[in-house]
Amino acid sequence: MSPELALAFLLAGFVLLIAVGIPLAFALLFASAFVIALEPGLDAVIIPLRIFSGINSFVLLAIPGFMFSAFLMNRIGVTEDIVALSDLLVGRIRGGLAHINVVASMLLGGVSGSSTADVAGLGAILIPAMSQKGYDRGFSAAITAASSAIGSIIPPSILMVIYGASANISVGALFIAGYIPGILVGLQQIVIGYWYARRHGIGAERQERAPGDALRVLLRGIVPMTTMVVIIGGILGGIMTATEAAAAAAAYVVLIGAFFYRTLTVQTLFEVAAETGRLTAVVMLCVGTATIFGWLMAYYHIIEVAGGWFEHFATGPVTYLLFVTAVFLFLGTFMDPAPAMLVFVPVIAPIADRLEVHPLLLGIVVVMTLSIGKITPPYGISLLLACTIAEIPLAASMRWTLVFLLAFCLLVAALILWPDLTLVLPRLLVPELAGA
Amino acid sequence: MSVVNRVSDVVERILNHLLAWLSLVLLTALVVQVVNRYILGLAWPFLQFLIPFSFVWITMLGSAVAVRHKLHFDVDLISPRLPPRARAVFGAVMASAVLAGGLLIAWTGVGFAGLGFLKKDSATDIPMIYTYCSILVGGILIVLLAAERLLVQIQLARGGAETEAPR
| Pair A170, A56: CB distance under 8 Å | no
- In this structure, the answer to whether residues A51 and A38 fall within a common structural domain is no
Which pLDDT score, from 0 to 100, does residue B65 have?
Answer: 96
Within this chain, do residues A422 and A304 fall inside the same structural domain, yes or no? yes
The rounded distance, in Å, linking the Cα atoms of A58 and A39 is 31
Contacts with B101 from chain A: Cβ below 8 Å: 25-26, 29-30
Q: How far is CA A156 from CA A160, A173, A222, A244, A324, in A?
A: 8, 11, 17, 12, 23
Q: What is the pLDDT along chain A (436 residues), one digit of tens a residue?
A: 787 888 889 989 998 998 888 998 999 999 999 999 999 889 999 999 999 999 998 888 988 998 898 889 888 888 888 888 888 888 888 888 888 889 888 887 766 656 666 777 788 888 888 888 889 999 999 999 999 888 889 888 888 999 998 898 999 899 999 999 999 999 999 999 999 999 998 877 656 677 788 888 888 888 888 888 888 888 888 788 888 889 999 999 999 999 998 999 999 999 999 999 998 999 899 989 989 988 898 888 877 777 777 777 777 899 999 999 998 888 887 777 888 888 888 888 888 888 889 999 999 999 999 988 888 876 677 888 888 888 888 788 889 999 999 999 999 999 999 999 999 999 998 888 776 5
Residues A25 and A123 in one domain: no
Coil, strand, or helix at residue A44?
A: coil
> Average pLDDT, whole number, for chain B?
90
Task: Give the DSSP letter string of A46-58.
Answer: HHHHHHHHHH--T
> Which residues, numbered 321 to 380 in chain A, qualify as contacts with chain B under a Cβ-Cβ cut-off of 8 Å?
334-336, 338-339, 378-379
Same domain, A16 and A73: no
**Amino acid present at A150:** I
Are both A22 and A69 inside the same structural domain?
no
A218 and A318 share one domain = yes
Most B-contacting residue of A15, A55, A162, A265 (CB-CB within 10 A), to test interface: A55
Please determine, for residue B109, whether its predicted confidence score (pLDDT) is greater than 90: yes
Closest-CA distance of chain A to residue B15, Å: 9
pLDDT at res. B2:
79
B105 versus A245: which is more confidently predicted?
B105
What's the pLDDT score for residue A79? 80
Ordered alpha helix ranges (H), chain B: 3-35, 45-68, 84-118, 129-157
Mutate to test the interface with A, among B30, B87, B141 (most CBs of A within 10 A): B30
Alpha helices for A149-265 (secondary structure H)? 150-153, 158-167, 171-199, 211-228, 234-236, 242-255
Kindly state whether residues A258 and A148 are assigned to the same domain.
Answer: yes
Whether A369 contacts A182, CB under 8 Å: no
Q: Based on the domain organization, do A233 and A362 belong to the same domain?
A: yes
pLDDT for the residue A113: 55
One domain, residues A196 and A307: yes
CB A395 within 8 A of CB A402: no
pTM for the structure as a whole: 0.86
Q: How far is B24 from chain A (nearest CA, A)?
A: 6
What's the pLDDT score for residue B10?
A: 95
Give dist(CA B54, CA B65) in Å, integer: 16
Q: How far is CA B124 from the centre of its chain?
A: 26
Cα–Cα distance for residue pair B74/B100, rounded to 1 Å:
16
Q: Look at residues B144, B131, B122, B58 and name the one whose alpha carbon lies nearest to residue A48.
A: B131
**Residue A66 sits at the chain B interface (C-beta within 8 Å):** no
Predicted pLDDT at A201: 86
Do A117 and A235 lie in one domain? The reply is yes
Burial B132-166 (b: 16+ CB within 10 A, else e): bbbbbbbbbbbbbbbbbbbbbbbbbbeeebeeebe
DSSP letter for B81, please: G
B160 pLDDT band (50/70/90 cuts)?
low
Which residues constitute the domain of residue A389? 45-434
In this structure, are A14 and A50 located in the same domain?
Answer: no
pLDDT at B1 over 70: no
Given a contact cutoff of 8 angstroms between Cβ atoms, the answer to whether A24 and A339 are in contact is yes
A246 and A336 housed in the same domain: yes
Structurally, chain A folds into a number of domains equal to 2
CA B47/CA B30 separation, integer angstroms: 8
Angle between helices A171-199 and A137-148 (to 10 degrees): 160
